[in-house]
């Protein structure tokens, strides 16, 4: 890997400290910060508001990119784009941009691969390669923000549910969110971020204590331990009863609605019995369920639920007072849907 530090790994106070150690005024650091996060400049040569000498020193001191785009795929409807990047050590990550009527949403990665081993997820089938640095998480957003700016558009929402388990890389994930949320930088509102976890209980409790109003999504996919453990090994360490206790505590502490993600697998977890169990788990809680017909992956033989079974599952939840949406699958033809991100 490169020996020079990645400039997107720095927060503003760190950048100020470095610039002042060079004998520069602190406001120069703010100019650089604004150039990176607001003007979206790509390298030192773009910082024409700085002296030539300072631009040269920035080039010598820092790397301005860790992401090398390898493959750029667009869905047949043009609404979804997926880019495979290589990191400086050659490891892969994938990032997805989804265009909606009023939103431009990015699905970003926090790890290359994933250690959680969920059987129906292509990233889980890869295994774990390494954590990303906070700057490598941030730079995925910057990369797409530059492309969107060229079309007069901007990033509106970020879902941290690409490759990897964000709470397995908690510190870097939270540092990245704070940097993107910074009022002197990109200034993306905290409520525009959604973090998805398979259910790492200590980090759910840690997030509840943060002073950030980000959204939490729980990848649940089964309402009893026996079924969940068959596809999600994490359930053996953090069973559903303990998980739900932590999630309810989070909801009480933050007063924020929690989203539960449920990949509908035909004849597996799409039964009326599972729907009733799920309704029991969520009773009286500020919650919303996203039903997502299973996206195909090479390493899992299960099939997506039929439309009829999905509708029946939804009706049972709604009849029990649980808000529920069947999500439109996006980018399936380019393997950009939930659970499909991998290194191919």
CB burial of residue 212 (10 Å; 0-12, 13-18, 19+): middle
Q: Assess whether 324 carries a catalytic annotation.
A: no
What tokens appear for 85 in the block?
């990047």
Q: Assess whether 249 carries a catalytic annotation.
A: no
Please identify which of the residues 24, 63, 94, 136 carries the catalytic annotation.
94
Phi, psi (deg, nearest 5) at residue 286? -75, 95
260, 272 Cβ separation under 8 angstroms: no
Angle (nearest 5°) at CA 244 between 313 and 256: 85
d(CA 280, CA 275): 9
Tokens 């992401």, located at residue: 67
| Cα dihedral 111, 116, 122, 128 in deg (nearest 10) | 50
Tokens 């908690």, located at residue: 170
d(CA 342, CA 114): 10
Please identify which of the residues 107, 118, 121, 338 carries the catalytic annotation.
338
Other Cβ atoms within 10 Å of 206 Cβ, number: 15
d(CA 87, CA 163): 14
What number of CA atoms fall less than 13 Å from residue 230's CA on the CB side?
A: 11
Angle (nearest 5°) at CA 322 between 318 and 325: 70
Active site (catalytic) residues:
94, 338
């Amino acid at each position: 890997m490169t020996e020079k530090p990645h400039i997107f790994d720095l927060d503003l106070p760190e950048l100020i400290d470095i610039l002042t150690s060079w004998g520069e005024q602190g406001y120069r650091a703010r100019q650089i910060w604004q150039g990176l996060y607001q003007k979206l400049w790509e390298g030192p040569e773009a910082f024409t508001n700085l002296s030539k000498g300072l631009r040269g020193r920035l080039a010598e001191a820092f790397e301005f990119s860790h992401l090398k785009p390898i493959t750029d795929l667009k869905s047949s409807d043009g609404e979804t784009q997926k880019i495979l990047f290589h990191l400086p050590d050659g490891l892969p990550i994938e990032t997805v941009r989804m265009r909606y009527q009023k939103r431009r949403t990015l699905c970003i990665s926090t790890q290359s691969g994933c250690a959680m081993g969920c059987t129906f997820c292509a990233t889980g089938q890869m295994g774990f390669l390494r954590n990303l640095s906070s700057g490598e998480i941030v730079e995925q957003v910057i990369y797409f923000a530059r492309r969107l700016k060229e079309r007069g558009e901007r990033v509106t929402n970020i879902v941290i549910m690409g490759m990897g388990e964000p709470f397995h890389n908690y510190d870097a994930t939270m540092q990245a969110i704070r940097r993107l949320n910074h009022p002197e930088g990109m200034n993306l509102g905290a409520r525009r971020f959604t973090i998805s976890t398979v259910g790492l209980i200590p980090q759910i409790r840690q997030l509840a204590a943060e002073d950030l109003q980000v959204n939490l999504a729980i990848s649940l996919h089964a309402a009893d331990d026996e079924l969940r453990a068959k596809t999600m090994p994490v359930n053996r360490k953090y069973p559903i009863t303990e998980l739900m206790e932590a999630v309810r505590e989070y909801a009480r502490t933050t007063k924020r609605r929690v989203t539960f993600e449920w990949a509908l697998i035909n004849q597996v977890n799409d039964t009326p019995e599972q729907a009733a169990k799920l309704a029991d788990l969520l009773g009286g809680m500020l919650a919303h369920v996203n039903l997502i017909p299973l996206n195909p992956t090479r390493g899992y033989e299960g099939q997506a639920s039929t439309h009829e079974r999905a509708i029946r599952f939804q009706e049972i939840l709604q009849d029990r007072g649980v808000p529920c949406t069947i999500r439109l699958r996006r980018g399936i033809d380019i393997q950009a849907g939930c659970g499909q991100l991998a290194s191919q």
